[in-house]
């Protein structure tokens, strides 16, 4: 059995939308086990007799995270559709996808969120002008976390 990039993204998206704390995926060639704990997700992979364990991400406790001030009337919030590492540019050293003052179309890519080594392009979903960027480059973000605010066109 072979999984496509889209298949893996769909699995991760579904997993984030559940209350499950564990996923076990077994094939002839490997076993993948994901567990959600207090420190975030951990991954355990077995390939033949070889076993690897790795921490995927550390999530700050909810008490340490604070939501930005309420959105000014007339602005639209852009929130993270998934949990992962937020990147403002397509690669290190490159110009960011958007800056304050950038004009957006609904399909404009505003960032990349990395989830388990998969890079997910994040579209704006709205037309307008970026007025505030709230997520830091290379910051671990939660699903639903406020990333940017946009003044609609």
The string of pLDDT tens digits covering residues 76-107 is: 999 999 888 999 999 989 999 999 999 999 99
8 A C-beta contact, residue 116 and residue 55: no
pLDDT value of position 153: 87
Which is higher by pLDDT, 140 or 7?
A: 140
User: Is the pLDDT at 56 greater than 60, yes or no?
Assistant: no
Each domain of the chain, given as residue ranges in start order, spans 5-55, 65-152
User: Is the pLDDT at 60 greater than 70, yes or no?
Assistant: no
In this structure, whether the domain defined by 65-152 belongs to CATH 3.90.950.10 is answered with no
Give the integer Cα–Cα distance in Å for 51 and 28. 15
């Amino acid at each position: 059995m072979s999984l496509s990039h889209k298949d893996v993204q769909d699995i991760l998206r579904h997993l984030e939308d559940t209350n499950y704390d564990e996923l076990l995926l077994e094939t002839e060639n490997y076993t993948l086990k994901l567990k959600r704990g207090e420190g975030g997700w951990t991954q355990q992979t077995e390939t033949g007799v070889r076993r690897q364990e790795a921490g995927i991400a550390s999530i700050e406790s909810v008490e340490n995270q604070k939501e930005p001030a309420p959105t000014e009337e007339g602005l639209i919030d852009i929130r993270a559709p998934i949990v992962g590492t937020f990147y403002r540019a397509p690669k290190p050293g490159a110009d960011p996808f958007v800056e304050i003052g950038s004009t957006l179309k609904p399909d404009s890519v505003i960032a990349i969120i990395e989830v388990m080594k998969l890079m997910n392009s994040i579209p704006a979903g709205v037309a307008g002008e970026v007025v505030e960027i709230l997520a830091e480059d290379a910051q671990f973000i939660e699903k639903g976390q406020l990333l940017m605010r946009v003044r609609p066109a």
